[in-house]
A and B are shown apart, each in its own frame.
Chain A
């Protein structure tokens, strides 16, 4: 009898132990405001060097096409925004989303991993689409944004020292733009540019994903290819 009692007690103790461990683990998704720390450090540390951008002839021509497409996209977006169906996010809007996050104008939650980002985003909006995994890149922050009244999950990554914003929405909420298509590994990507920013958009597993950053489109596609859905 004693052995049975002991075993029951051990099992109960173990259950409580695990419950405490899980609750403590949730502190990892606690939002941390790093703006003051960043300012303190910026005053003392040398600033990182901006890497020269590798210009690609293909992207230059793409940019010209993208500028025309952007105008069409804005017109299309205006027409679509009045309906409840999928919306067309313009390249300018997506670039703005990225710049607002990187500059700190958009409040973000500091996170260390995609798992943490998904937890933090789900806490804000339970219907948030699951953000795909990104191997070997630093995950820095996340937030929810509204693009034409559609919720978009945003994750700020750092890839080879350059900030990249990954935005994810339900594929049923977003339309793919009429932008030049580039294929890589059997997956089609729509490529757009605004100023120095490139963005690649794709749809996979019912999700619309857009990667935005000051990186060549090929590098963004390479990153998109590694996404784990």
Chain B
């Protein structure tokens, strides 16, 4: 494929998804308030888009461009975490299923009465902040399955894990997220103790 055709395809098929890439990067690095984090997210999105442009000959027209971009974003993020001195991705082994189950024991049966109403009272920033309580892999799972609405098979392919892992992880992560939101909900009296 010549450069002109690659450029045309990039702007037609890939460019429209840059907002989804940036949104995912923002949630991953929790870029809500801090200008430095906002720039980090933009840099990550830029790197992803540039890598996509460089790999246009590998993109099959007719396939899901967003899914392809998410795979590139995932790899770019992993490379950045590997080379950074600071935050390391937390392995799932460090946060086993039992942790989530234990944590929910503090909830009573009626704690989350009308859960949708309670959750809708949280701002997007609150939700993004709560997602930072999850490990990198967990965050990716909820980002792909719940935020971007990919099906579990697609998420499994992007994260390179079996579908069964995505299924169990999705359920466990939603539980963990709920648990992370619980103290805030109580503090703001969305939930009465």
Contacts and interface: CB of A to CB of B under 8 A. Distances in A.
A and B part of one assembly: yes
Interface of A: 12, 15-17, 19-28, 30, 32, 34, 36-38, 40-41, 44-46, 48-49, 110-112, 138-141, 158, 160-161
A37 B8 contact: no
B119 interface: yes
Contacts, number: 111
Interface residues of B, number: 47
A37 B46 contact: yes
Contacts of B46: 37, 40-41, 44
Interface of B: 3-4, 7-8, 10-12, 15-20, 22-23, 26-27, 39, 42-43, 45-46, 49-50, 53, 66, 109, 112, 115-116, 119-120, 122, 124, 127-128, 142, 145-149, 171, 174-175, 177-178
A110 B18 CA distance: 9
A34 B22 contact: yes
B149 A110 contact: no
25 contacts: A16-B174, A19-B115, A20-B178, A22-B119, A24-B147, A25-B146, A26-B124, A27-B23, A27-B124, A28-B148, A30-B124, A34-B22, A41-B50, A45-B50, A45-B53, A46-B3, A48-B8, A49-B4, A49-B7, A49-B8, A110-B23, A111-B19, A112-B16, A112-B66, A140-B19
| Dominant secondary structure at the B interface | helix
Contacts of A141: 19
Nearest to B23: A32
Given A34-B18, A112-B20, A25 B119 contact: no
B171 A17 contact: yes
